[in-house]
Amino acid sequence: MALILFYKEEVKKLITKMYAPADLISKEFRFTTHELTEKLLSILPKIEYNDVYEALLELGYEPQEEKPMEYYWYFRRKKE
Please give, one letter per residue, the 3-state secondary structure of 26-61.
CCCEEECHHHHHHHHCCCCCCCCHHHHHHHHHHCCC
Eight-class DSSP state of 79: P
> What pLDDT digit, counting tens, does each position of 43-74 carry?
888 899 999 999 999 999 999 999 999 999 99
Percent of the chain with pLDDT over 70: 92
Integer Cα distance of 41 and 48 in angstroms: 9
Q: Is the pLDDT of residue 4 over 90?
A: no
Q: Is the pLDDT of residue 28 over 90?
A: yes
Residue 74 and residue 60 in contact, taking contact as beta carbons nearer than 8 Å: no
Between 33 and 4, name the one with better pLDDT. 33
